[in-house]
């Protein structure tokens, strides 16, 4: 979520930082990451963060996952580059294909989207009032 926070703070009026893009962009990342991990049978593979070793199949999964994120985000008009990082974290084993991890990502993305939108609206209101 760090890259989402950066995008929302530095480019709050960018289309990439909109509520819809933030939430749906991360949902595309989760969906892509989970789909690739399940399709390649990596759900029980040790995380690269645990082993310190990157396996060829994880590189393949990561490449496919990011490509799928780009396709999904483009299809639903929800481009949000940090969603690709979400897919990478999943394909590299940082998040597992379990409901708890899915909910943690979606809740985190939802909080970021709400805070970003609230901040943007507050900024607009302050500028309208001449502050």
Q: pLDDT tens-digit profile of 80-92?
A: 999 999 999 999 9
Residue 5 included in any domain? no
Residues 6+ away with beta carbon under 8 Å from 42: 36, 57, 58, 61, 91, 93
For 29, the domain range is 15-128
Confidence of residue 130 (pLDDT cuts 50, 70, 90): low
* Confidence label for 131 from pLDDT (cuts 50, 70 and 90): low
Predicted local distance difference test score (pLDDT) of residue 107: 96
**Is the full-model pTM beyond 0.85?**
yes
Flag whether 51 is in a domain: yes
Is the pLDDT confidence value at 9 over 90?
Answer: no
Q: Say if 72 falls within a structural domain.
A: yes
Q: Is residue 65 part of a domain?
A: yes
DSSP string, 5-52: HHHHHH-TTSGGGSHHHHHHHHHHHHHHHHHHHHHTT-TTSPPHHHHS
Query: How many domains does one find in the chain?
Result: 1
């Amino acid at each position: 979520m760090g890259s989402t926070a950066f995008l929302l703070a530095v480019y709050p009026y960018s289309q990439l930082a909109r509520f819809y893009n933030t939430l749906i962009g991360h949902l595309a990342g989760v969906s892509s990451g989970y789909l690739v991990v399940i399709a390649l049978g990596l759900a029980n593979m040790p995380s690269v963060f645990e082993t310190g070793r990157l396996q060829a199949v994880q590189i393949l999964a990561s490449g496919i996952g990011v490509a799928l994120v780009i396709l999904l985000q483009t299809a639903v008009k929800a481009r949000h580059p940090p969603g690709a990082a979400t897919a990478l974290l999943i394909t590299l084993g940082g998040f597992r294909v379990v409901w708890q991890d899915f909910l943690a990502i979606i809740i985190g993305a939802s909080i970021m989207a709400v805070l970003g939108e609230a901040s943007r609206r507050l900024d607009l209101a302050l500028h309208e009032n001449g502050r």
